[in-house]
Structure 1
Amino acid sequence: MSERARVKNVRRAIASSDVTRAGVLGLVALGAAAAAVCTVATSGLPAGHDRAVAPPHTNAGVTCVKCHEPGQAPSFAASSGCTACHASSSHLSARPAHRSLAARGELTCATCHPAHDAFQGVTFGPDGGALRWGAGAVPVQAKTNGVFSKPTTVPLVSLAACAKCHDPRDARDPIAACVSRDVRRDPESSLATRPSLCFDEHRPASRAEARAVAWEATRAVAVTTPWVSRASNANGPWLPVAGAFGGAAAFGALVALRDRRRRDKALPPAPKLETPAARRKLPVIDASRCLGCYACVDACPFDVLTIEKYVAVVARPDECCGVVLCERVCPNGSLTIDEGDATKDIPHVDEHLESPHVPGLYLAGDLTGLPLIKNAIHQGVRVVDRIASTMPKKRTEPIDVLVVGAGPAGLSAALRAREKGLSCVVLEQASVAASIKSFPRDKIVHDPPLDLPVEGELWLREATKEELVAQWTRIVRTRAIDVREGRRVTRIEPRGAGFEVGAELEGQETIFRAARVVLAIGRRGTPKTLPLAVDPGAESKISHALADARSFAGKRVLVVGLGDSAMEAAVALARQPGTSVTVSYRGRDFTRGKARNVGEMKQLLAKGALKLLFGTVPVAVTTRSVKLAGTDGRPAHTLPVDAVLVLVGGHPSWGLLEVAGVRRRGEGGEA
């Protein structure tokens, strides 16, 4: 293990050690305690205090300072707080034992009538109605036969207050006359929710008969209505507990964020697969440490690497796409990525795939220099997410997002725009998924699994070309994506806060105005052509794409090129009945292409199902034949053919990009 790798591992071990974890727990506990103290301090009252006040006190405007002096405990024992409003002479106990306890300070007003918590009572109105209330509870309407000339209130005393000295369930106890029979029948019932039915504790100062009527009416209400449940008080005993948990959670989150930042700073950042590399990257293998485990070979989507003599080697450097998956999966760090020359043949975009020279114009897909369908889908999603987060609330253009190209990146962007509530129009010069339709029939569209999730429903793992096209077409139809096919975009010009886009359909230009534009037109652009001498009438024999190999059944076909597209076309043609396939390639050996395609080509060559002519290039095409010249000075010869497929790559779509103002990397000093 290298010294650098050891340092990384030591840092990670320290960051996750038990010593550090114990320190973090201590800090979290300290934060919880501090939060609880602050919560109690800001509440103004000790923990566990219930500040619900009964309706009579609320109606009378009684506040905390009426009963509590500053610094006094809330559960006060003195009666001075009550006698300030209630005359002490009219509230003397009618029972000698109670008066004796009151004289010694052992029985106070709050003993039977708590200002908070279990304080309940009944209020009778002049209309004959009764309202049973409780501190902090929703009042309950009750019926009564008594009629009172003015509102009359009778407090209820919980048997739990009496149980401090009496046994309410004992029939021999003097309080037995004040207890309903069901309390004694049900020993499991709670005394805290059962009222005493005696109301003659105090001597009425006046209107004794009226008070007796009120007591009798209260007794009837107390028996026929339940104990009023107190509403949960957010400022009750759970307040400091909630504050402690909240403080612990917040403090723990801050500590976790700190540790994560430290860890991310210590470890190398993961590569951003959605953004193309600014410089060309190539794998470099330390042969003395390579394990020959095939991890890098399996991870590479373009078969750049292979194993020779138990060591990984770079077999096809021109096919390296710079995704750097090989470096990430290498188990011992023997494979690293070396930066080479700047990648100048790709558009210059920032980390959000926005052109720095044309703000509001985004690029996505193969055009950015990052291959693979999966990456294109991701880029479409990320671009629209960026647009949605930066789009001004006040819209001035009729279209929020205009997407050019209905391939994987364009359709992904359109679907995301719909999810984000953005209006979107897709312009496609051919048809939906035209790039996929150009693949040979029954071609397996296989994208190796990358270490990132695929968002949306465009992706089908290990699907044929037909299955993928059917899936995308169905999505466009069911999701009502506005795709305008057959419209070739000719210009993109900034106008005010948005863009003016011109698109031609059968020679007629239509103008579209949009706030943002996403270019997802692919990288291939215009197919490359060869300097061929073509006889009149032979132009129809030359094609630059193979859509359906079945149409060439029984014909003689020449395939020019030996890249992946050419090899896939040759394999598909060779499987058609009666088809004679010849491949012409100017090189001397297989120098590019995926290993699977190369393997299938070699198998067909061994079976004699096709011919491969190395070191040849076509120079002339007639209605019946092709003239092939040798690249090594060999004489030219004529090959009878019915069709010619020229599959030698394509030119990027720089024409539209240059018109829009997009620059390439390296132009104007950009890295």
Structure 2
Amino acid sequence: MGAELDKILIYGSVGLLLFVVLWIYIRKQKKESKEVEEKIKVAKEEGLYEPVSLHPVVDVNSCIKSGACILACPEHDILGIRNGKATVINASRCVGHGACFHACPTQAISLFMGTEKRGVDLPHVSQNFETNVPGIFIAGEMGGMGLIKNAVEQGKQAVENLAKGIKPKHTNDYDLVVIGAGPAGISASLQAHKMGLKTITLEQDTLGGTVYTFPRQKIVMTSPMELPLYGQAKLYETSKQELLDLWTSVLGKHKIEIQERKKVEEIVAENGGFCVKTKTDESFSTQKVLLAIGRRGTPRKLGIPGEDTQKVAYRLLEPELIHKKQIVVVGGGDSAIESALLLMEQNEVTLSYRKDTFSRLKPKNSENIKKAIADHKISAVLNSNLVAIDTNKVVLQLNGEKNTIELSNDLVYIFAGGELPTAFLKKAGIKISTKFGEAILTHKKQA
């Protein structure tokens, strides 16, 4: 009888312990879910819930709540756990590095481009980075991957793929013409040199492409990357200038010259390959072409009076040289916010944005701009559009109203994004389609 009682006590104690553990687990899960739901609520209020480009989509039937995706993501609160499954919180803050995709042990995450309501225009590119025009490849931002680390990797992989189709005894001047010397173009140029391909790289502006247009001290890299002919670049909190110095050093060491100020106007199929023609009437005959020109190479214009005057700029290079000016910054993305913050200490800055709240901002930028506005260091005119630029003033129109306001002004900086070079791509025969929530990176597709 005593032995049976002991068994009952033991089993009862174990059962009680299991019950307590389960109760704590469920309570913790409910608490986590409540916190995530609150974050989603805030994200919706701040316009950060809906994705604007590349973003993760979770298959809840495959998710096992390992949390690996959350730990792998270097950004903040992109993903969270709700009701025992991973879910997206601040989708518009996703920068598309794909760490969550690779970290998930059950392959429950795919990367999607666009949503059912918001489409994103992209050129047709295969898994091997080749467009619908055989021999023309695309890597980097124009193909939907804007993060520097991803662009560098794509440039390398694209060259590895296109090299397989280069004929050993062709009569073209080059094996490969790389168009664009941003992250993808530089990586491609290094990889091509490593593989012994006869290559020329053409850049319409300056080495670095879009990166060159960032303010000098802007942090552009927060994680390591693998750079051809260099190896693992252990970069943390790396500024624009530090990254440009690295690229210049590696290119110089291997005597790889970037042809700057060479804007490509046309790509024509010719002689079993292509003829690449520049704005200065130069021609380059090549077997393969890699486009790494980015989406923001051509700034989006507002189409308003006075926009073509010298007081208007679409990038901010040396803010420390600008002082005692009345400046209007147009835009609500990270570039506009960062520029306004850099200019505010020595100037009178007004920030004009067409919406009623800032969205898609990095957490630090969001915090800093709110503080700057609260401290009256920046004047923000939300729900407004810049409609005219004059010599000494600008005109803002308030959304939903016929009223306009005039501001004394010396300089205007416009950050309205960039335009996909649609006409150039179509002229080369490259198809462009609008992605409405389509998976561009998924384990199931690769299986």
Retained in 2: the 8 A contact 1:558–1:643? yes
* Residues 276-318 of structure 1: CA deviation (Å, up to 9, x unaligned): xxx97553597xx998979638616586457999998645444
- The runs of 5 or more residues in structure 1 that have no matched partner are 1-278
Partner residue in 2 for 1:501: 276
Higher relative contact order (CA 8 A, sep 6+): 2
Quick check: 1:547 aligned with 2:317?
yes
TM-score normalised to the size of structure 2? 0.75
Matches within 5 A, 1:606-625: 606-625=374-393
Q: Report which of the two structures shows the higher radius of gyration computed on alpha carbons.
A: 1
Matches within 5 A, 1:76-475: 282-284=56-58, 296=70, 299=73, 301=75, 304-305=78-79, 314-320=88-94, 323-326=97-100, 328-329=102-103, 341=116, 345-355=121-131, 357-448=132-223, 455-457=228-230, 459=233, 460-475=235-250
User: In the aligned structure 2, how far is the partner of 1:389 from the partner of 1:334?
Assistant: 33
Of residues 384, 389, 394, the one that matches 1:626 is 394
Q: 1:446: Cα distance to partner?
A: 2.4
User: In the aligned structure 2, how far is the partner of 1:313 from the partner of 1:383?
Assistant: 32
Partner residue in 2 for 1:558: 328
User: In the aligned structure 1, how far is the partner of 2:399 from the partner of 2:214?
Assistant: 29
* Residues 391-422 of structure 1: CA deviation (Å, up to 9, x unaligned): 22223212111111111111111111111111
Quick check: 1:516 aligned with 2:283?
no
User: In the aligned structure 1, how far is the partner of 2:377 from the partner of 2:68?
Assistant: 31
Partner residue in 2 for 1:231: none
Return the letter of the residue paired with 1:521: I
Return the letter of the residue paired with 1:613: V
Retained in 2: the 8 A contact 1:438–1:547? yes
User: In the aligned structure 2, how far is the partner of 1:606 from the partner of 1:588?
Assistant: 16
User: In the aligned structure 2, how far is the partner of 1:519 from the partner of 1:344?
Assistant: 19
Q: 1:599: Cα distance to partner?
A: 1.7
Of residues 574, 579, 587, the one that matches 2:344 is 574
Change (3 A) 1:442 1:306: farther
User: In the aligned structure 2, how far is the partner of 1:488 from the partner of 1:574?
Assistant: 34
Retained in 2: the 8 A contact 1:292–1:307? no
Q: SS of the counterpart of 1:527? A: coil
TM-score normalised to the size of structure 1? 0.51
Q: SS of the counterpart of 2:123? A: coil
Retained in 1: the 8 A contact 2:222–2:238? no
Retained in 2: the 8 A contact 1:624–1:642? yes
Where do 4+ consecutive residues of structure 1 move more than 4 Å? 279-282, 289-295, 300-316, 318-324, 327-344, 452-456
Of residues 401, 410, 417, the one that matches 1:649 is 417
Partner residue in 1 for 2:50: none
Q: SS of the counterpart of 1:412? A: helix
Q: 1:492: Cα distance to partner?
A: 0.5
Retained in 2: the 8 A contact 1:284–1:336? yes
Q: 1:643: Cα distance to partner?
A: 0.7
User: In the aligned structure 2, how far is the partner of 1:605 from the partner of 1:281?
Assistant: 30
* Residues 3-27 of structure 1: CA deviation (Å, up to 9, x unaligned): xxxxxxxxxxxxxxxxxxxxxxxxx
User: In the aligned structure 2, how far is the partner of 1:515 from the partner of 1:474?
Assistant: 28
Return the letter of the residue paired with 2:372: L
User: In the aligned structure 1, how far is the partner of 2:173 from the partner of 2:356?
Assistant: 56
Retained in 1: the 8 A contact 2:206–2:212? no
* Residues 581-615 of structure 1: CA deviation (Å, up to 9, x unaligned): 21111111122121121122123223332222211
* Residues 18-53 of structure 1: CA deviation (Å, up to 9, x unaligned): xxxxxxxxxxxxxxxxxxxxxxxxxxxxxxxxxxxx
Return the letter of the residue paired with 1:354: E
User: In the aligned structure 2, how far is the partner of 1:647 from the partner of 1:574?
Assistant: 16
Return the letter of the residue paired with 2:274: F
Q: 1:454: Cα distance to partner?
A: 5.3
Report the number of matched residues. 379
User: In the aligned structure 2, how far is the partner of 1:475 from the partner of 1:546?
Assistant: 26
User: In the aligned structure 2, how far is the partner of 1:290 from the partner of 1:605?
Assistant: 43
Between the two proteins, what is the percent identity of the paired residues? 32
* Residues 404-457 of structure 1: CA deviation (Å, up to 9, x unaligned): 1111111111111111111110111111113111101210112446xx855443
